[in-house]
Chain A
Amino acid sequence: MMFTLYRSMLRIRRVEEAIAERYGAQEMRCPVHLSIGQEAVAVGVCAALEPRDGVFGGHRAHAHYLAKGGDLTAMLAEIYGLENGCCRGVGGSMHIIDLAAGFLGAVPIVGATVPLAVGAAWAARLRNEDKVIAVFFGDGTFEEGVVHESINFAVLHKLPVLFVCENNLYACYTRLSDRQPDRPIHGIAAAHGCRAVTAEGNDVEAVYAATRAAVASLRAGGAPVFLECPTYRWREHCGPNLDDHLGYRPGGELAEWESACPVSRLASVLSSSPEGAGLVAAAEAEIAAEIASAFTAALAGPEPQPADLSGYLYA
């Protein structure tokens, strides 16, 4: 299991780096919000879910999509705005979906998918489907009223929802302490009546263990679970670059979090045995090859046609 978790995180890291590397070519003409540094939350949560379970995301959703099994080529093609993209070019990086994988959608209005996750869980209950719905969001989203409305309803009806708060301390360039009083986010969720738990967000095994327990409790009919995971975004809010020179984060903070890198942390554990070291090295090569061929396949897609747009408007 540890190796599966590692491989999934490494794959996300390398995909995001590949996007960043190619972004300067001006061919991906849409905003991208990269997940580098936050891979462990996505991977730890999704690994504990079944394929039939559903996941929603927000504007920074590449990691969630890939961790849930979303098609890599379709995501890259979408970012390139091509017909073989997961939304045929209508969505771009901020709107991704893979229904076959149970990735039910991500959109960039902060908080927008939180009630949708509750509604999907409500539908599962009404349709007698054994399904858990997870929704990822950040610390900033917790300031949106709709999140509290949604949690209230989920708790009232004891719906099988897992609220996953990736607390990366910043909403764009504004620090958590400038936006919220000094009290734990999960404490508010507990006051709503959720089962509130925390896990070290850069420790994929901790996130996985916490999610397994949460999912078991939800399947047994327990209260909605709120999982808060402290983590950190390494690159700029939006775009491929580093932005520490802007000075909005205290000096040394990024370096501290980089030293707690979720990927290399697990790599060093796995590499302690010769067999593990071999697997780690092989994963690197396999993933590089997969990403290269996914970019090739994505870029081979045709241009989408504006004439098709009106056909998407109404069902």
Chain B
Amino acid sequence: MPEIKRRITQAEAIREALAQAMEEDERVIVIGEGVPDPKGIFGTTTGLQQRFGKSRVFDSPLSENGITGICVGAAISGMRPVMVHQRIDFALLAMDQIVNNAAKWHYMFAGQVKVPMVIRVIVGRGWGPGPQHAQSLQALFAHIPGLKVVMPTSGYDAKGMLLAAIRDDNPVIFIEHRWLQGIADHVPEAPYAVPLDQALICRPGKQASLVAFSYMTVEARLAAEALADQGIDLEVIDARSVRPLDMRTIVESVRRTGTLIVADTAWKTGGIAGEVIAGVAETAFSALKRPPLRICLPDIPVPTSPHLTRDYYPDALYLARAIAAHLGGGVDDAELARRLVRATPHDVPQREFRGPF
């Protein structure tokens, strides 16, 4: 099929998913601060208002909690709203409506009312977004029964999981990562759904299971390729879903490899990486040949200056070194560094990136 060879960026894949969801179901509406503006949420909503009209594609007052509640009210009344926050940090203003209403309305009325809504939130990174524009808050949302929380990595999954999320009858927190939006992927044009509860083994391997979330999957795959050339064979699993965690895929992998390493985009304490390890320890403790390893952000907020962020985010080289040491060493560090030292400045996803976000 020639179609599958089409390459588009994740931002374009998300825009296509939104457009196709609106085409296939007139109940789908899109609202958010900046949705119809000239920047179009990093290009993910560009042109939607022109195509679907002002009654279905809205800009939003700066009222995150109120608009979330309004979307819950619309969802329980038969609409399927998609809300967008340019930064996940802004959703903190709406935690009351997300946690107390969106997550509970179906449960607390014993299943009489559905809340089919999607809240798109974007994790920032690079070019100095700093302490309040670059947090990775998936564990906060994943703690709440009644929510579904997903973090696709590839453009293919971003499109398929967004379509699945919009078709789902439950509130879905759809976490995107700013550094994934510019990456091109093979994305079929026709609509398709990717399940919201399944991890993806994106690189089979025998020596250790490396479970990664969101952008860390990109770094994990780079690290795995470099280590493979030195005889260390990692299985890389893109978790894709945070609630529910696909523990079945992860546990089966650990039973094969005997080693569990988790790379998360978030802080370590209270994070989802610990949850993955706990799940494995509870069900497959005897399969573990060595202690599990978490590779996360240091437990301090994100700084702004490039002089301060240089060593803040673990990258592929950091991962490769940490994993090699954990497995007993014996690798050529100079060779790892030659393969994995970033050719681009550390605070941009691609060399062409020019800020300000």
CA distance A90 to B77 in the complex (A): 21
Q: How far is the CB of B101 from chain A (nearest CB, A)?
A: 6
In contact, B77 and A123 (Cβ under 8 angstroms): yes
In contact, A150 and B170 (Cβ under 8 angstroms): no
CA distance A117 to B79 in the complex (A): 14
- B66-89 interface code vs A (CB 8 A; 1 in, 0 out): 111111111111110000000000
Residue of A nearest to B77 (CB): A123
Report chain B residues within 8 Å CB of A314: 106, 146, 148, 169-170
CA distance A122 to B76 in the complex (A): 11
Report chain B residues within 8 Å CB of A118: 66, 69-70, 73
Q: How far is the CB of A31 from chain B (nearest CB, A)?
A: 15
Residue of B nearest to A83 (CB): B110
- A287-315 interface code vs B (CB 8 A; 1 in, 0 out): 00000000000000000000001011111
Report chain B residues within 8 Å CB of A116: 69-70, 72-73, 76, 101
Report chain A residues within 8 Å CB of B116: 315
Given A97-B109, A109-B96, A123-B78, residue A153 in contact with residue B67 (CB < 8 A): yes
Given A91-B109, A95-B109, A150-B66, residue A115 in contact with residue B73 (CB < 8 A): yes
Chain B interface size, under 10 / 10 to 19 / 20 to 34 / 35 or more: 35 or more
In contact, A312 and B72 (Cβ under 8 angstroms): no
CA distance A104 to B148 in the complex (A): 24
Residue of B nearest to A314 (CB): B170
| B228-251 with Cβ < 8 A to chain A | none
Given A120-B77, A122-B70, residue A153 in contact with residue B110 (CB < 8 A): no
In contact, B112 and A313 (Cβ under 8 angstroms): no
In contact, A109 and B146 (Cβ under 8 angstroms): no
In contact, B70 and A104 (Cβ under 8 angstroms): no
In contact, A115 and B69 (Cβ under 8 angstroms): yes
| In the complex, B113 has a CB within 8 A of chain A | yes
In contact, B73 and A88 (Cβ under 8 angstroms): no
Given A115-B69, A115-B72, A119-B72, residue A315 in contact with residue B169 (CB < 8 A): yes
| A79-121 with Cβ < 8 A to chain B | 86-91, 95, 97, 99, 104-105, 107, 109, 112, 114-121
Report chain A residues within 8 Å CB of B71: 119
| In the complex, A124 has a CB within 8 A of chain B | yes
| In the complex, B344 has a CB within 8 A of chain A | no
Apart from A122-B79, A314-B106, list 12 A-B contacts with CB within 8 A: A90-B110, A91-B110, A107-B108, A109-B100, A115-B70, A116-B70, A123-B74, A126-B79, A127-B79, A146-B96, A312-B110, A313-B106
> Which residues of A are at the interface with B, using a C-beta cutoff of 8 A?
54, 86-91, 95, 97, 99, 104-105, 107, 109, 112, 114-124, 126-127, 145-146, 148-150, 152-153, 156, 309, 311-315
> Which residues of B are at the interface with A, using a C-beta cutoff of 8 A?
29, 55-56, 61, 63, 65-79, 96-97, 100-101, 105-116, 145-146, 148, 169-170
Can you identify 11 A-B contacts, CB atoms within 8 angstroms? Answer: A90-B108, A107-B108, A119-B69, A119-B75, A120-B77, A122-B73, A126-B74, A127-B77, A146-B63, A146-B97, A315-B115
